[in-house]
Amino acid sequence: MITHTVAFRLRHSRDSDQEAAFLHEALALAGIPGVRDFQQMRQVGKKAAYDFGFSMRFADQSAYDAYNGHPVHVAFVRDRWVAEVADFIELDYVSIEGRDPA
């Protein structure tokens, strides 16, 4: 199991309609085959300049690769992410010694 996470900051104002529209559009990612436990979260830690986080899980690298190449993901990155995200960091996790990230 692979847990894929991304923390990011939008170019939009906080609580703007544009912010809400971006988050709504991103829900389409949850419907891509192989995506499990899709979550949208608010990043509240003061030590990092990111306001949101998405996380999802894949059974294996093959499922992750299929997600990356899926037309819905490709279109979202091209049409929304590139223009609307000011900065981001991707972190992907796997278990250590059988301790599976939940």
Q: Which residues have CB under 8 Å from 40's CB, separation 6+?
A: 23, 26, 27, 52, 53, 54
Q: Which positions from 66 through 85 interact with a copy of itself, judged by CB under 8 A?
A: none
Q: Is 99 in the site for a copy of itself (CB under 8 A)?
A: yes
Number of C-beta neighbours around residue 62 at 10 A: 10
Binding segment for a copy of itself (CB under 8 A), chosen from 10-18, 41-49, 65-73, 76-84, is 41-49
How many angstroms separate the most distant Cα atoms in the chain?
A: 44
The verdict on 94 binding a copy of itself (CB under 8 A) reads yes
Pick one of 39, 60, 74, 86: the residue that binds a copy of itself (CB under 8 A).
39
